[in-house]
């Protein structure tokens, strides 16, 4: 029989609702706390930063939430995305495991990020927002928000972590092409940025610092809202389109995942793929293991503490109940800029605390070694973030081989590395730090 490598869903079969895992979690989330009063925040407290529709989604416990038609229409520019069976990789590893990956790299910005950028821009537009600010690490998120706001005529200002701004110059070009403006962070444009630069003029920046800058601009400008590319509940909600499609696609193969693996920065691609499958763990007694893979240089899930902490470095956000390394933690300048975040989203943190998901860490050289193996086997060139998941997939496939078990492993190919080729050059030149 002919091997089918790609499982494709028709546009007509694309899911029309997002899945809200808050409806099915065994233990509900702890509330966000007001940074001043330390009391649970009220929806109104967030209004300066976010459009009301997103604040409502943040706290909703409805199981399914309709995706607006306008959002579905823009999703169709690149969705449904294919699921690939990685036959070549299986053969190269000589493993009995079946390896599938959901290919989110086919979106124009090259990752899963537009899945939430589009609805965030849409709801902002509906509520009359004229400008949006955000942070970006490697640039995947800033590209996605520029891509999305461009469709709605909203101005987009992106604070890009300085080390990534220098490592990945073409990300800035991409954002500019979609009418986004980009500022290396820490910058002199905000009080927060100036304070960090006063402390350390050579500061490489971090997602936490860039968030502080973007929030400050939104909080101090009436017509401007802030947008976050991960961590928050509504972001993970939007990303469930990934897993919802994949459930349908794997149904076509007759396989069901024993293991789901995603790279982990703040939780958005990992949650997006795994939550619609975790639902069957919660409601139908399935036992799919879900593994979040973080960078060993920023190990909040495997070495952090579960506690209330700020989402940003300056301490301007609500306090979030999460696994964290402390909001002042500034990670080394690894190429996987999207994984350089001190904390984890509340939902993922609660699930990890309740032992309903697992976490592993992978170091930088290990991740590039896996990326090269994958690129030579399957052709696709992974983003440095994605490569962390691939390193874990390879380990699990080798365990399956030792055990002689034909496990089904599914992972999220969250983004391509075409704008990260400089990092591959450094890997081949043996210039990369291990972590």
Residues that bind a second copy (CB under 8 A): 2-6, 8, 10-12, 73, 76-78, 88, 106-108, 110, 147, 150, 169-170, 173-174, 176-179, 372, 375-376, 378-381, 418-419, 421-422, 424-425, 428
| For a second copy, the closer CB: 178 or 275 | 178
| For a second copy, the closer CB: 285 or 379 | 379
* Run of H or E residues at 179: none
With residues binned 3-state (H G I as helix, E B as strand, rest as coil), the percentages for the chain, rounded to 5, are: 45, 20, 35
| For a second copy, the closer CB: 6 or 433 | 6
* Range list of H helices, 159-299: 162-167, 169-177, 191-199, 207-219, 233-253, 268-284
Helices 233-253 & 346-353 angle (0-180, nearest 10): 70
Q: State in angstroms the smallest separation of the CB of 433 from a second copy.
A: 19
Q: State in angstroms the smallest separation of the CB of 380 from a second copy.
A: 5
Q: State in angstroms the smallest separation of the CB of 81 from a second copy.
A: 11
| For a second copy, the closer CB: 172 or 300 | 172
Which residues on adjacent β-strands are paired with residue 126?
none
Q: State in angstroms the smallest separation of the CB of 77 from a second copy.
A: 5
**Total residues belonging to the chain:** 435
C-alpha angle 296/276/343, rounded to 5°? 30
| For a second copy, the closer CB: 48 or 372 | 372
| For a second copy, the closer CB: 128 or 379 | 379
Q: State in angstroms the smallest separation of the CB of 337 from a second copy.
A: 17
| For a second copy, the closer CB: 247 or 372 | 372
Q: State in angstroms the smallest separation of the CB of 373 from a second copy.
A: 11
| For a second copy, the closer CB: 64 or 78 | 78
Q: State in angstroms the smallest separation of the CB of 427 from a second copy.
A: 9
Q: State in angstroms the smallest separation of the CB of 425 from a second copy.
A: 5
Which residues on adjacent β-strands are paired with residue 410?
100, 260
Cis ω on the peptide bond leading into residue 235 (within 30° of 0)?
no
Choose among 225, 192, 8: nearest CA to 122.
Answer: 225
User: How does 14-46 read in b/e, with b if 16+ C-beta sit within 10 Å?
Assistant: bbeebbbbbebbeeebbbbbeeeeeeebeeebb
Q: For the chain, first and last CA: distance in Å?
A: 44
Q: State in angstroms the smallest separation of the CB of 245 from a second copy.
A: 13
What contacts 225, CB < 8 A, 6 or more positions away?
49, 50, 51, 124, 129, 131, 132, 133, 218
| For a second copy, the closer CB: 170 or 308 | 170
Q: Hey, is 410 helix, strand or coil? A: strand
DSSP letters for 281-326: HHHH----EEEEEEETTS-HHHH-EEEEEESSSSS-SPEEEEEES-
Q: State in angstroms the smallest separation of the CB of 8 from a second copy.
A: 5
Q: Hey, is 68 helix, strand or coil? A: coil
C-alpha angle 401/271/110, rounded to 5°? 90
| For a second copy, the closer CB: 149 or 281 | 149
Q: State in angstroms the smallest separation of the CB of 4 from a second copy.
A: 5
Cβ neighbours of 198 (radius 10 Å): 10
| For a second copy, the closer CB: 58 or 378 | 378
Choose among 356, 164, 184, 189: nearest CA to 265.
Answer: 164
Q: What does the alpha-carbon distance between residue 66 and residue 339 come to, in Å, rounded to a whole number?
A: 30
C-alpha dihedral sign at 72, 160, 365, 322 = negative
């Amino acid at each position: 029989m002919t091997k089918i490598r790609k499982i494709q869903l028709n546009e007509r079969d694309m899911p029309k609702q997002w899945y809200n895992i808050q409806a099915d979690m065994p233990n509900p989330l702890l509330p966000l706390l007001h940074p001043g009063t330390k009391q649970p925040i009220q929806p109104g407290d967030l209004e300066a930063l976010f459009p009301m529709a997103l604040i409502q989604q943040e706290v909703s416990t409805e199981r399914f939430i309709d995706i607006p038609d306008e959002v579905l229409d823009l999703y169709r520019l690149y969705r449904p995305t294919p699921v690939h069976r990685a036959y070549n990789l299986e053969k190269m590893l000589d493993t009995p495991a079946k390896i599938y990956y959901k290919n989110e790299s086919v979106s124009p910005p090259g990752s899963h990020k537009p899945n939430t950028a589009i609805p965030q821009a849409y709801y902002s537009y509906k509520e009359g927002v004229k400008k949006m600010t955000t942070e970006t690490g490697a640039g995947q998120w800033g590209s996605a928000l520029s891509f999305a706001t461009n469709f709605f005529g909203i101005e987009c200002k992106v604070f890009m972590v300085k080390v990534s701004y220098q490592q990945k110059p073409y990300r800035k070009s991409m954002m500019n092409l979609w009418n986004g403006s980009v500022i290396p962070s820490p910058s002199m444009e905000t009080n927060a940025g100036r304070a960090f630069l006063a402390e350390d003029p050579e500061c490489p920046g971090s997602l936490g610092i860039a968030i502080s800058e973007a929030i400050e601009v939104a909080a101090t400008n009436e017509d401007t809202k802030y947008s976050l590319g991960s961590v928050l509940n509504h972001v993970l909600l939007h990303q469930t389109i990934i897993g919802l499609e994949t459930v349908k696609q794997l149904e076509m193969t007759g396989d069901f995942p024993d293991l789901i693996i995603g790279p982990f920065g703040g939780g958005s691609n990992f949650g997006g793929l795994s939550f619609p499958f975790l639902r069957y763990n919660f409601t139908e007694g399935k036992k799919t293991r879900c593994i979040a893979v973080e960078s060993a240089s920023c190990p909040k899930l495997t070495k952090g503490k579960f506690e209330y902490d700020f989402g940003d470095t300056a301490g301007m956000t609500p306090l979030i109940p999460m696994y964290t390394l402390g909001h002042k933690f500034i990670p080394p300048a690894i190429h996987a800029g999207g994984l350089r975040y001190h904390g984890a989203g509340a939902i993922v943190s609660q699930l990890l605390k309740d032992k309903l998901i697992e976490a592993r860490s992978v170091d930088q050289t290990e991740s590039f070694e896996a990326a090269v193996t994958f690129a030579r086997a399957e052709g696709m060139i992974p983003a440095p973030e994605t490569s962390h998941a691939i390193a874990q997939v390879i380990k699990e496939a080798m365990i399956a081989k030792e055990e002689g078990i034909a496990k089904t492993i599914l992972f999220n190919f969250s983004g391509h590395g075409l704008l990260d080729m400089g990092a591959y050059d450094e890997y081949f030149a043996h210039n990369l730090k291990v972590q």
